[in-house]
Amino acid sequence: MKWRNLIFLVMLSMFTLMSCKDKEREVEGIEPEEQAEAFEEDLEEVRRDDGIVVQVESDPELSTFATGLNAWNLGEEMNDEQGPFTIFAPDNNAYSTLYRDQGQEVLQVNNDAIVQYHIVKGEMTAEQLRQEVQNANGTYKLKTLAGEELTVRLKGDKLVLEGATGDKANITSSSTSEQGVIHIIDKVLLPSDLEVEITAEK
C-alpha cells in the first residue's frame, strides 16, 4: 500500500509539473504575438495622427529625402500649413543613383529646389492620378511647389513621372496621412532651373 501511495504521489507530481510547463509554453507563445499586434496598432495610430512630414521621417527608406525636407525648414512650413499635400518621395537608392551620376554638388547647391519639385499642393492618390491621366488622354501635368511641372503617364498599370530634364521615375508604393499622400518613387527628378549643370538620362 505504501508503495502504491508513493507511486501515486510521484505520478501526480509529474503531471502537475508537465501542466505548468504547458501553461508556460502557452503564455510564451501568445504574449509575443499579442504584443506585436498591439505595437502595430499603436504604430498605425501614430502614423494616422501625425503630419505628412513626420510620416516621411518615420520611413527608413526615405531618410535622405527627409533630411533634405528639413534642411531649409520646409518640413516645418508644411506642418504649419494646412494641407493636403502630395509628396513624390525618392527612396534612398534613388539618391545613391543621383550622387553617382551627378555628384553630391547637385543636391548640396539645389536641395531646396529639388525637394520642392517633388511636392504638389492637394491630395492625389494613385487611383486619382490614373483617372486624371485617362481623362487627359494619356498625359497629366502637376504644378509643384517649385513652380515647375511634373508630367504623369501610364505605362501599363504603372504610374510614371517625367521631370523637366526628361528623367522618369516609377511610383513603387503609396501611403496616406491626414495631410495628404506619399508616393515613393525610384528616381530623383530634377527641375530645369538648377545652379549647376546636369546631365539628363533619357
At 76 the pLDDT is 64
Burial class (CB in 10 A: 0-12, 13-18, 19+), 89: buried
Distances (CA, A) of 189 to 42, 68, 112, 193: 34, 14, 13, 12
- Greater confidence (24 vs 129) lies with 129
What are 99's three cell numbers?
550622387
Per-residue pLDDT at 62 exceeds 60: yes
What does pTM read for this prediction? 0.70
Per-residue pLDDT at 197 exceeds 70: no
Q: Please give the full DSSP string across 105-167, using - where no structure is assigned.
A: HHHHHHHHHHHHTTEEES---HHHHHHHHHHTTT-EEEEBTTS-EEEEEEETTEEEEE-TTS-
Q: Average model confidence (pLDDT) for the chain?
A: 77
For the segment 146-159, the average pLDDT, to the nearest whole number, is 95
Per-residue pLDDT at 77 exceeds 60: yes
